[in-house]
């Protein structure tokens, strides 16, 4: 999966989960931007981004995820992140993004966070 990005969607307990694998960088950020945009345009205002298989995120990826968060927050929603691995997790901490998003250790914990928001 190195160098590529794959996004799959599922629903658990009425919550949209996007499973993200690979890398989010300048070459792939438009793909995740499109996926997030489609979900938000269809009325999804709260979702979990499962990053258990995300190996890398660049500043362009952070920008896309932050823009999606701003869109859903304007509708009263939230985006929770789950299963951040060491590399991407460190990027979220260094940039302060860990204070903007609920970061959960599992998808189940993220779902619970969204259902009790």
Instruction: Tell me the fold of 5-115.
Output: Transcription Regulator spoIIAA (3.30.750)
Which residues are CB-contacts of 97 (< 8 A; sequence separation ≥ 6)?
62, 65, 66, 91
Q: Can you give the residue ranges of every domain in the chain?
A: 5-115
Beta sheet of 78-82, edge-to-edge order? 5-12, 15-24, 46-57, 78-82, 103-104
Query: How many separate helices (H) and strands (E) can be counted in the chain?
Result: 4, 5
CA pair distance 103, 92, nearest whole angstrom = 10
**What is the sign, positive or negative, of the torsion defined by CA atoms of 78, 84, 87, 90?**
positive
> What pLDDT, in 10s, does the model give residues 63-110?
999 999 999 999 999 999 999 999 999 999 999 999 999 999 999 999
Nearest alpha-carbon partner for 12 in 82, 89, 71, 65: 82
pTM: 0.94
> What pLDDT, in 10s, does the model give residues 37-66?
999 999 999 999 999 999 999 999 999 999
């Amino acid at each position: 999966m190195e160098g590529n990005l794959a996004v799959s969607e599922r629903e658990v307990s009425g919550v949209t989960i996007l499973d993200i694998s690979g890398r989010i960088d300048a070459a792939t950020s438009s793909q995740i931007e499109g996926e997030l945009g489609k979900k938000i345009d269809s009325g999804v205002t709260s979702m979990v981004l499962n990053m258990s298989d995300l190996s890398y995120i660049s500043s362009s990826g952070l920008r896309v995820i932050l823009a999606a968060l701003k869109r859903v927050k304007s509708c009263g929603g939230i985006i929770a992140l789950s299963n951040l691995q060491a590399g991407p997790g460190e990027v979220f901490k260094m940039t302060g993004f860990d204070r903007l998003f609920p970061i959960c250790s599992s998808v189940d914990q993220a779902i619970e966070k969204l259902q009790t928001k």
